[in-house]
Amino acid sequence: ETGVTQTPRHLVMGMTNKKSLKCEQHLGHNAMYWYKQSAKKPLELMFVYNFKEQTENNSVPSRFSPECPNSSHLFLHLHTLQPEDSALYLCASSRGGGTRDTGELFFGEGSRLTVL
């Protein structure tokens, strides 16, 4: 148990569906992240939120839409995805806050997404 919980663990959706991934952290952290993990590729940072404010968006297609209502919750809204978007989507948190950040990411177990 890392203190970061992701739901659902598995999701199958068609290209015209709309779905959402949810992440919750119980660590009191101030920064939350979405990463994409594909086979034989580096972990790809998608979005970063610090104190609920989006601080990074790594040229992610608009069919992925993040939402961070508070420092403990993070969502990834999905719509009109492509088969190449099939991957493991990992949520992570860190202490955040600039120099107070220790640099350690705490990952959830991921949501395995399959786009048909």
Partner 1 sequence: QQQVKQSPQSLIVQKGGISIINCAYENTAFDYFPWYQQFPGKGPALLIAIRPDVSEKKEGRFTISFNKSAKQFSLHIMDSQPGDSATYFCAAGTGGGADGLTFGKGTHLIIQP
User: Which chain residues interact with partner 1 by CB under 8 A?
Assistant: 2, 4, 31, 33, 40-43, 45, 48, 50, 55-56, 90, 92, 94-96, 98-99, 101-110
Distance from C-alpha of 33 to C-alpha of 56, rounded to nearest angstrom: 9
Residue whose CB is less far from partner 1, 2 or 17: 2
Distance from C-alpha of 105 to C-alpha of 95, rounded to nearest angstrom: 8
Residue type present at position 70: N
Closest distance to partner 1 from the beta carbon of 94 (Å): 4
Closest distance to partner 1 from the beta carbon of 71 (Å): 14
Residue 109 CB neighbour total at 10 angstroms:
15
